[in-house]
Amino acid sequence: MQVSQRIAEHLSRAIEATGLDADPFAHLAFGSVFPPDVYAELLAQLPAAAYYRELKHSDAMLPDGRSARLQFPLVPGNIARLPAAQAAFWREVVAGLTAPAVDAAYKAKFAARLEAVRGRPVDRIKLRHFPTLFRDLGGYRISIHPDSPRKAITTQFYLPADDSQVHLGTRFHARNADGSFREVRAMRFAPNSGYAFAVTPESWHSVEPMRPDDKPRNSLMVIVFYDRGPLVEGFKAARASLRGWYDRIVGVRGGAPEAGEGRIERM
C-alpha cells in the first residue's frame, strides 16, 4: 500500500475516533497521527536546514533581525527543490494529508462549527488544505490569538524524536469577562501527536517562549482554508509554486513568506 493511502486511512480513522472536546473551544487531541513506521520515516526525511526559509512576523523576530520560525511549504515547486527520493516521499505525504477521506472526516467532526461560521450546510462548504513544515528555534513564541477568519480548521502534528520537548506544546485559552485570559489546556509536544480545531473568534491559543537551549521544534501544520473560488485559489497556488521554483534556482534561504501566509500560520 502506498504511503499516501496509509496516511489517509490512518488519519481519517484517527479523526473519526477522537472525541471532540469543547473546552475551551471545539478541538481534537491526537495521540497517534501516523503509522509508527511512517512517523519514523517523516523524521528521517525532514529537509535540511538550508531548504527552509524564514517566516517573518513580530513574535518570532530575534534581536539580531533573524526569525526564530523557519518554514518549508509543501507545495509542488518547493518540494521539487529536494533530492529526488526525498521529494517523492513528501509528495506522498501531501497526497495522504489532503485526501478526500481526510477532508470528509474533518467536515463530519467539525460540521456544527463550520456551518455556524459560514451559515450554510457543511456539504456546501469547500475547503483547501495547505501542509507546511515548520522549524522553530530558541526565542520563538506566539502571543494569544484566535487565528484568521479565512481559516476553517487549524491542524498541527508534532514531530519530536522523543519526549524531551513536551513543554513546547500549544496552549489553549478562554477569555474572561474582563478581557483577560486563562489557560485551559496545554498540549504535550510529544512524538506522533497533535491537535486540530475549528477556527472561530473564540479559538484563542498561544505558544510559550522557547528557551535558547531548546532543541528545534519541528512540526507539520495543515492549514485548512475556506475555498474562495478557482480564480483566487488558482492564483495562490501558482504564486506559491513559483516561489518554490525561484528558491530552487537561486538556492537562497530566508526570503519573505508568501503574502497572506506568513501572518497567519503562527501556531
Cα gap 89→93, rounded to integer Å = 6
Cβ atoms 57, 134 nearer than 8 A: no
Q: What is the pLDDT of residue 248?
A: 57
Cα gap 127→228, rounded to integer Å = 9
Q: What is the pLDDT of residue 208?
A: 94
Helix (H) or strand (E) holding 116: helix 111-118
Mean pLDDT in consecutive groups of 10 residues from the start of the chain, 267 residues: 96 97 96 97 97 84 85 95 97 98 97 94 94 95 92 97 96 96 97 97 95 95 86 55 60 39 41
Q: Where are the alpha helices (DSSP H) in 80-217?
A: 84-97, 100-109, 111-118
Residues in the chain: 267
Q: What is the pLDDT of residue 36?
A: 97
Domains of the chain and CATH, by start: 3-250 (2.60.120.620)
Cβ atoms 196, 128 nearer than 8 A: no
- What global pTM score does this model have? 0.86
The total of other beta-carbon atoms located within 10 Å of residue 145's CB is 15
